[in-house]
Amino acid sequence: MKKPLPYDPRSLHLIYSSLLLLQLVVTSVVLYAAQDTAVISYDITRITNTAAPAAAGLNAFFGKWIWTKGMQHISAEEELEDKLRTLTKVHVWQWIVVQFATILLLSYTLIEANFFYFIFALVNVVYFITLRPKIFTFNEGI
């Protein structure tokens, strides 16, 4: 029988880099596609002008909630390998939630030709950059 390979957290950095690159590419494409027609405007009577940024903010809070629950779960586990697997899952789910919010805002930028959403998408990309894998800060890099 083959013995299972030991857990390797270095793949976490690859996942993070791929998701960040995807966000940057989609952001660049939206910027290029909307540069001639989009304006920055905020109309309080349009529900999406408030709802889309609010949904992105709620996704950020949901991602933080995922992180907090994951850390509680990690503190209850005994085995180091299980802790690392849980840490990986927590990171990936948090990144997916934040990435979904960015894609939502970039979609609204294209749909409504309004760079108002693009500004929030850029803030979300910067927030995503701050979510670098914590495993590398725990052991000073791999």
State yes or no: pLDDT of 142 exceeds 50.
no
Cα 38 to Cα 57: distance, rounded to the nearest angstrom: 23
pLDDT band at 133 (very low <50, low <70, confident <90, very high): confident
The count of residues in the chain is 142
Backbone angles phi, psi at 102, to 5 degrees: -65, -45
* Sheet strands (E) in the chain: none
Q: What is the mean pLDDT of residues 5-20?
A: 79
pLDDT, tens digit (0-9, with 9 covering 90-100), for 14-59: 888 899 999 999 999 998 988 887 788 888 888 888 888 899 999 9
pLDDT of res. 66:
93
State yes or no: pLDDT of 69 exceeds 90.
yes
Cα 62 to Cα 48: distance, rounded to the nearest angstrom: 20
The residues, any chain, with a CB within 8 Å of residue 10's CB and separated by 6 or more, are 142
For the four alpha carbons of 100, 60, 72 and 17, in that order, the dihedral sign comes to positive
Query: Does residue 122 contact residue 30 with C-beta atoms inside 8 Å?
Result: no
pLDDT, tens digit (0-9, with 9 covering 90-100), for 91-127: 889 999 999 999 999 999 888 888 889 999 999 999 9
pLDDT of res. 8:
66
Q: Is 44 exposed, middle or buried (0-12, 13-18, 19+ CB in 10 A)?
A: exposed
Q: What is the mean pLDDT of residues 62-79?
A: 90
Token code pair at residue 117: 């959403």
pLDDT of res. 137:
54
